[in-house]
Amino acid sequence: MAEKTILRALAGETQDVPPIWMMRQAGRYLPEYRATRAKAGDFLSLCYNSDLATEVTLQPIRRYGFDAAILFADILLVPQALGADLWFVTGEGPRLSTITSQAELEQLRPVADIHETLSPIYQTVRNLSQELPRDITLIGFAGAPWTVATYMIAGRGTPDQGPAHALKQENKPVFEALLDRVTEATIEYLSAQIEAGAEVVKLFDSWAGSLKDKDFEKYSRDPAARIVTELKRRHPGIPVIAFPRGAGDKYIGFARATGADCVAVDETVSPEWVAKHLQPDSCVQGNLKSSHMVTGGDAMISETRHIVEALRNGPHIFNLGHGITPDADPDNVQRMIDAIRG
């Protein structure tokens, strides 16, 4: 642990130079990733090929020397393991068979059966735990129940998560039963990743911001708390990063309410606000705009240094406010790292 800066930050240590990693750091902006994906044939084949998934996870570590590697997988592998049909449309994203009725809900597999489908993912984690340099932290992850459920209900990503909100209003028993099933599966999935060698796990609630008032607490915060509590019961000391993207003022108190060791924040909140309202409770992660990785220049350097300076008095993991995009310039990533470490 003494060598792993990410673990030190998650334990509450303030460091002169914050550790760095990026969401989607293994991705299409890297030519070596594109070459490996072409070898795999398609995205899901890449996810389920443990050797190739290990390779793409390692690529940004070799190129940039990030302080953490995050498992290469996808948040929609859990619904697939539960029995939903999943495929990806080139240029458009994921498609799933939908769950909007009691009959469709009952067709899902039991949670206990997910591991057979997901076993290649656990093998990737085992591979990485052996192959990563000893000072690099291995992060596992899953989608949060609300976010995963929005895809399962709509059958695809939507701009406002309207179908999930509609089901919540029109058939709350089915909606809540689905959320409960996904919550249970997420606990099992992350627990298996930890058993395979993940040293940290992250919970991505990418669509948390569309939940308002009590719905945010009931469908984003409370499932996160349930997952964190059970993981820490099974694996004492395991650090958990929570990312309720778009939460705004509801970021405040999220770490205390859920037991998460770190709250990742998006770019809609200022680092000064984060330092005041969140850092006293936990480590924080974030929050450079992803667009800076495309445009680069002095604005990127200035904002990078601004974030580091604003969060220098507490535990901080430097990251983007969301995942890096396929049109990012790989050279800008190196310039960002140099601005932090230089």
**Above 60 in pLDDT, residue 142?**
yes
Annotated active-site residue in 28, 63, 156, 312: 28
Predicted confidence band of residue 90 (pLDDT cuts 50, 70, 90): confident
Using a cut of 0.85, tell me whether the model's pTM lies above it: yes
Alpha-carbon distance of 272 to 307, in angstroms, equals 8
Residue 1, pLDDT score: 56
Q: What residues have CB less than 8 Å from 29, skipping those under 6 apart?
A: 293, 324, 325, 326, 327, 328, 329, 330, 333
The span from the first CA to the last CA of the chain, in angstroms, equals 24
47 and 117 Cβ atoms separated by less than 8 Å: no
Encoding tokens for residue 153?
Answer: 């209900």
Predicted confidence band of residue 2 (pLDDT cuts 50, 70, 90): low
**Above 90 in pLDDT, residue 301?**
yes
Alpha-carbon distance of 207 to 274, in angstroms, equals 20
Annotated active-site residue in 29, 33, 64, 151: 151
Annotated active-site residue in 37, 181, 226, 245: 37
Identify whether 221 is a catalytic site residue: no
Identify whether 24 is a catalytic site residue: yes
Report domain extents, the chain: 25-270
Residue 3, pLDDT score: 83
Annotated active-site residue in 63, 74, 180, 329: 74
**Above 60 in pLDDT, residue 134?**
yes
321 and 267 Cβ atoms separated by less than 8 Å: yes
What angle, rounded to 10 degrees, do the helices at 50-64 and 114-131 form?
A: 40
Mean pLDDT over the full length of the chain: 97
Q: What is the CATH number of domain 25-270?
A: 3.20.20.210
For 90, counting Cβ atoms within 10 Å of its Cβ (0-12 exposed, 13-18 middle, 19+ buried), the class is: exposed
Identify whether 95 is a catalytic site residue: no
Model confidence over 170-221: pLDDT tens digits? Answer: 999 999 999 999 999 999 999 999 999 999 999 999 999 999 999 999 999 9
More confidently predicted of 92 and 336: 336
Give which of 239, 233, 223 is closest to 182, Cα–Cα. 223
Residue 91, pLDDT score: 83
Predicted confidence band of residue 62 (pLDDT cuts 50, 70, 90): very high
For 297, counting Cβ atoms within 10 Å of its Cβ (0-12 exposed, 13-18 middle, 19+ buried), the class is: exposed
Model confidence over 19-40: pLDDT tens digits? Answer: 999 999 999 999 999 999 999 9
Encoding tokens for residue 301?
Answer: 């350097």
Would you mind telling me the total number of residues written for the chain in this entry? Answer: 342
Predicted confidence band of residue 140 (pLDDT cuts 50, 70, 90): very high
CA distances from 111 to 108, 123, 194, 223, 340 (A): 9, 19, 17, 16, 43
